[in-house]
């Protein structure tokens, strides 16, 4: 199922993790890196909060790659595995507000993130599975 939300999250970041995974992600001070991850959490940057919304799409990766969802000018920025022992993925804000969630099929889920800008994307696509 494809989910979409337009949001200007606090601190211009969002998190992808399982519902019980509140593990801190060590942030890097390199200016060219806008996605950070551990085994249980991914943090990615959004369009600057003061400048407007970021459109975030969450969908099975197969649907995103099959072309059923248009990803204009987006580049693959992350491709890795995330521990999902509860078989759920959530996209949350820094205030721990759940923006989107979905069920996944296993305790280890491949997650891919595409965006239209390396630092301040207006469009982010999160594909799982």
Domain parsing of the chain, residue ranges: 3-128
Quote the pLDDT of residue 65: 77
CA dist., res. 44 & res. 46, Å (int): 7
Q: Report whether 14 contacts 25 (CB < 8 A).
A: no
Are 109 and 89 spatial neighbours (Cβ–Cβ below 8 Å)?
Answer: yes
Residue 26 binned pLDDT confidence (cut-offs 50, 70, 90): low
Residue-wise pLDDT tens digits, 57-84 = 999 998 887 766 777 788 999 999 999 9
pTM passes above 0.85: yes
pLDDT single digits (tens) 14-25: 999 998 766 666
For domain 3-128, the CATH class is mainly beta
Average pLDDT along the chain:
88
The span from the CA of 3 to the CA of 73, in Å, is: 20
pLDDT of residue 34: 80
């Amino acid at each position: 199922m494809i989910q979409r939300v337009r949001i200007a999250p606090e601190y211009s970041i969002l998190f992808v993790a399982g519902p019980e995974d509140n593990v801190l992600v060590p942030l890097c001070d390199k200016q060219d890196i806008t996605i950070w991850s551990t085994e249980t959490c991914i943090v990615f940057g959004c369009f600057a909060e003061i400048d407007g919304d970021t459109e975030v799409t969450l969908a099975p990766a197969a649907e995103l790659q099959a072309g059923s969802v248009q990803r204009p000018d987006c580049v693959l920025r992350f491709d890795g595995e995330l521990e999902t022992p509860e078989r759920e993925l959530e996209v949350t804000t820094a205030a721990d507000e759940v923006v989107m969630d979905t069920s996944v099929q296993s305790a280890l889920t491949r997650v891919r993130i595409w965006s239209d800008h390396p630092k301040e994307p207006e469009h982010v696509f999160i594909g799982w599975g």
